[in-house]
Amino acid sequence: MTWRDRISVDPLVCHGQACVSSTRVPVAVVLDNLAQGVEKAELLRSYPSIKSEDVDACIEYAAELAPKNNDTSRILPLFPKEG
């Protein structure tokens, strides 16, 4: 199974945002929660319509969107440049 089996985009659902399939839970909400340190178990309690595999699919989706093959045009610096 790949993220494509669990993530969908429908212009009539959440204004076309990528969502966990058959839900109205946007991928961005899942990723934002994880980025803020919310544990997967807590996320699943907060959003009972999603499953553990859906959270994993959201991470895989984000990873696929990340730059690859040394494409540095989309990489944000971790530290500000010294002037």
What CATH number is given to the structural domain containing 34? 1.10.10.10
Domain count across the chain: 1
Is residue 65 predicted with pLDDT exceeding 90?
A: no
- Length reported for the chain: 83
Predicted structure pTM score: 0.80
Range(s) of the domain holding residue 41:
3-65
| Residue 65 to residue 44: CA distance in whole angstroms | 24
24 inside domain: yes
Is residue 42 predicted with pLDDT exceeding 70?
A: yes
Q: What is the mean pLDDT of residues 24-41?
A: 97
